[in-house]
Structure 1
Amino acid sequence: MAARTVFGSTLLVRGSEQLLAERAVAAHISRARRERPQAEVTEVAAPDLADGRFADLIGGSLFATDAVVVVTDLASLPEDALPLVRQTALEPHGELCLVLVHSGGVKGKALLDALKKAKVQTINADPIKPWELPKFVAAEAKQLRMTLDDQASQSLVDAVGTDLRSLSAALHQLSSDYEGEQVSAAMVRRYFGGRAEVTSFAVAEDALAGRQGAALEKLRWAIATGDVAPVMVTSALASQLRGLGKYLELRTGRFSDQDLARQVGVPPWKLKDLNRLSRDWSSRRVALAIRAVAKADEEVKGAATDPGFALEQLVLAISSTTSG
């Protein structure tokens, strides 16, 4: 049976992760071009669809009857353009491939609800959870025909951060320089050098392990160089503490390492680190630390005049707390 054509159909790409959204759109356009190479491709921001421009776009041109129209920033669609966009999205004509891109949130909900009710094809481009980033790295590496173990994937996240574009670019660099080799955590750390030493996760790991001096040194360097936004430090600490709290709660259960890691939300090799931390931490201490992180998070988002000082006080509080 012949594959379903993308013409005469609508695709909704919804979510705030721009890289995933852009890839979904690009893949759909590529498929449309393979089907009908003569099709005219137009990308337009929704706020620019006033004064009947959308009607012109979906009608193709004098030289191309087939049209691929990508509408970005759908949440900002003008009211006067809404009826035609909705009607077209629900009943696109056979020469139109329509792609609507919505960055998430509730703005434009009426149109989104109509598309959902009509079961329009939807691709989600939601942000990837921090603990799922190593899986993203592994999948990207597979596309590049690279071989990374779990620790290497996590080390890359620790070194580069949570931005998907940066992670993808880093993998392209590694694949170019280590073509055909299996990339280890040690190779990642060597390749990215000092950058790995000043990430938010490195600060968090030192703070939770009680390495106060090292945590403060990395924190001050990261903030001074502008490599790490203050909110990323509170986010990393919160993530690490949540994982530790879940581990403390579940470690006495009868779980295999794989099941325990899945319940906690970490890769299996990370359980050794959590087991080591659990000797100095209790559930009560974790709860107190999470409250301290929540307070500091408010401060770095505007409640305090000096985010750096607020983070230093947080690191001091966490790294010096005795087991309770």
Structure 2
Amino acid sequence: MRHRVFLVPPATRRKSSSRPSAKVPGRSWDEPALAPVVLVQGAEPLLAERAVDGVVRLARERDPEVEKVELEGATYTGGQLTVAASPSLFGEAKIVVVRGAESGTEDLMSDLIAYVARPDEETTVVVVHGGGQRGKKMLDAVTKSGAPVMACEPITRDGEKASFVMGEFKAARRRADADAVRSLVDGLGNDLRELAAACSQLISDTTGTITESVVDRYYGGRVEATGFRVADAAVAGDAGGAVSLLRHALATGLDPVPIVAALAVRLRNLAKVAAMRGGGITARELGMAPWQVDRSQKDLRSWTPEGLAAAITAVAQADAEVKGESRDPVYAVEKAVLTIARSRRG
């Protein structure tokens, strides 16, 4: 039997005499590791796919002839894991990917619990669990075994999305300036898979530094139609531009509700950064990216506390109106946009 070296940090490597009983802290989706069992856990499908691909890549770097076997949790029948994970006739390495464990059958849960107790050291079994409490006993068994846990939770904060975009470009050895990253996040950040696809297209179709003008050339129609561009123009005091962008966004099918939400986020960031002036609060604690803080600090030079309060009040009123208190939500959001633009100090 050939000897294998598993690329797992000391905190998660199994000892021959005993197994750790405490839960091992999770690692990021982009920090793959090889071990007899690896858990990929979280509700973001794209990140889960990336995590699995990373583990498979490591396995193939170690042994190009590794055999990959996939099992589906929802259709699993008893004994499949044992057969899939068993050494092949000629002793080739194997990697077994169990997808949809959160929807797995009872047979899958019991087989995984049994397997984790006595895994085949020549095989890597990757358990993909999309989140939730189903299969908790199985998850506890996996984590208590010391298996690496790769976290794939949804990316929700703009700062995290910006980091994701910068990571995509860095991995491709491409540079993108801060305005380009912001434009991508503002325009396409609601769908991580679409955001990743946009990064991939820009990487393959362009050369040199990726700037905001490059992003606009490829995605200008999409980006300019977002509520965040409307909010940017309103906060800048450009009433005409903000209303024009608003009408374009509505004409292309954007609902008033997310536009008001974008206005609220933009003003909330201004209020958060204004509070930082007293000291004792960091950008990280506010959940904001550095570029968001820098932009808000520049904007605040043209805002008074009274003007900011009036703008926030207008957005709160618009939020109520677009959610049912007004018969004309389009008018409600346009009124809020104009109030914000006019509340800025000239």
Superposition TM-score, scaled by structure 1 size: 0.79
> Does 1:316 pair with 2:342?
no
> Does 1:247 pair with 2:273?
yes
Is contact 1:14–1:125 with CA below 8 Å preserved after alignment?
yes
Measured at CA, do residues 138 and 63 of structure 1 come closer, stay the same or move farther in structure 2, by a change above 3 Å? Answer: same
Amino acid at match of 2:288: G
Is contact 2:73–2:105 with CA below 8 Å preserved after alignment?
yes
Is contact 2:308–2:343 with CA below 8 Å preserved after alignment?
no
Following superposition, the deviation at residue 271 of structure 1 comes to 3.1
With 232-241 and 45-54 compared, the bigger mean Cα shift is at 232-241
Percent identity, please.
Answer: 32
Distance (Å, rounded) in 1 between the aligned partners of 2:159 and 2:335: 25
Is contact 1:67–1:97 with CA below 8 Å preserved after alignment?
yes
Measured at CA, do residues 36 and 260 of structure 1 come closer, stay the same or move farther in structure 2, by a change above 3 Å? Answer: closer
Distance (Å, rounded) in 2 between the aligned partners of 1:111 and 1:231: 41
Is contact 2:35–2:148 with CA below 8 Å preserved after alignment?
no
Measured at CA, do residues 221 and 202 of structure 1 come closer, stay the same or move farther in structure 2, by a change above 3 Å? Answer: same
Question: Which one has a larger percent helix, Structure 1 or Structure 2?
Answer: 1
Q: CA-to-partner distance for each residue in 1:18-72, whole Å, 9 max, x for gaps?
A: 2221111011012112323333211222111124333322225556654211111
Measured at CA, do residues 44 and 282 of structure 1 come closer, stay the same or move farther in structure 2, by a change above 3 Å? Answer: farther
Is contact 2:76–2:104 with CA below 8 Å preserved after alignment?
yes
Is contact 1:70–1:99 with CA below 8 Å preserved after alignment?
yes
Distance (Å, rounded) in 1 between the aligned partners of 2:117 and 2:334: 53
Amino acid at match of 1:278: W
With 62-71 and 212-221 compared, the bigger mean Cα shift is at 212-221
Is contact 1:69–1:98 with CA below 8 Å preserved after alignment?
yes
Is contact 1:13–1:123 with CA below 8 Å preserved after alignment?
yes
Match of 1:278 among 285, 303, 317: 303
Q: What residue in structure 1 maps to residue 65 of structure 2? A: 38
Amino acid at match of 1:148: A
Measured at CA, do residues 312 and 137 of structure 1 come closer, stay the same or move farther in structure 2, by a change above 3 Å? Answer: farther
Q: Which runs of 5+ in 2 are unaligned?
A: 8-32
> Does 1:71 pair with 2:73?
no
Taking the TM superposition and a 5 Å limit, the aligned residue runs for 1:90-129 are 90-128=117-155, 129=157
Following superposition, the deviation at residue 123 of structure 1 comes to 0.8
Q: How many residues align?
A: 312
Following superposition, the deviation at residue 107 of structure 1 comes to 2.8
Distance (Å, rounded) in 2 between the aligned partners of 1:116 and 1:231: 41
> Does 1:199 pair with 2:226?
yes
Amino acid at match of 1:105: G
Distance (Å, rounded) in 1 between the aligned partners of 2:159 and 2:257: 17
Distance (Å, rounded) in 2 between the aligned partners of 1:10 and 1:277: 56
Q: CA-to-partner distance for each residue in 1:86-128, whole Å, 9 max, x for gaps?
A: 2213431123211011122333323223323333211111222
Distance (Å, rounded) in 1 between the aligned partners of 2:339 and 2:288: 26
Distance (Å, rounded) in 2 between the aligned partners of 1:63 and 1:38: 11
Distance (Å, rounded) in 1 between the aligned partners of 2:113 and 2:150: 18
Match of 1:145 among 168, 173, 192: 173
Measured at CA, do residues 76 and 39 of structure 1 come closer, stay the same or move farther in structure 2, by a change above 3 Å? Answer: same
Match of 2:43 among 4, 13, 16: 16
Following superposition, the deviation at residue 312 of structure 1 comes to 5.4
Distance (Å, rounded) in 2 between the aligned partners of 1:118 and 1:185: 47
Following superposition, the deviation at residue 13 of structure 1 comes to 0.9
Distance (Å, rounded) in 1 between the aligned partners of 2:321 and 2:131: 27
Amino acid at match of 2:143: K
Q: What residue in structure 2 maps to residue 161 of structure 1? A: 189
Superposition TM-score, scaled by structure 2 size: 0.74
Measured at CA, do residues 239 and 148 of structure 1 come closer, stay the same or move farther in structure 2, by a change above 3 Å? Answer: same
Is contact 2:34–2:55 with CA below 8 Å preserved after alignment?
no
Q: CA-to-partner distance for each residue in 1:133-153, whole Å, 9 max, x for gaps?
A: 222222211111212222221
Measured at CA, do residues 235 and 107 of structure 1 come closer, stay the same or move farther in structure 2, by a change above 3 Å? Answer: farther
> Does 1:175 pair with 2:203?
yes
Following superposition, the deviation at residue 293 of structure 1 comes to 7.2
Is contact 2:243–2:338 with CA below 8 Å preserved after alignment?
no
Structural RMSD (CA):
3.6
Distance (Å, rounded) in 1 between the aligned partners of 2:46 and 2:82: 29
Is contact 1:46–1:78 with CA below 8 Å preserved after alignment?
yes
Measured at CA, do residues 293 and 313 of structure 1 come closer, stay the same or move farther in structure 2, by a change above 3 Å? Answer: closer
Match of 1:225 among 252, 256, 263: 252
Q: CA-to-partner distance for each residue in 1:67-88, whole Å, 9 max, x for gaps?
A: 2111111111112321111221
**Secondary structure at the counterpart of residue 147 of structure 1:** coil
Following superposition, the deviation at residue 263 of structure 1 comes to 4.5
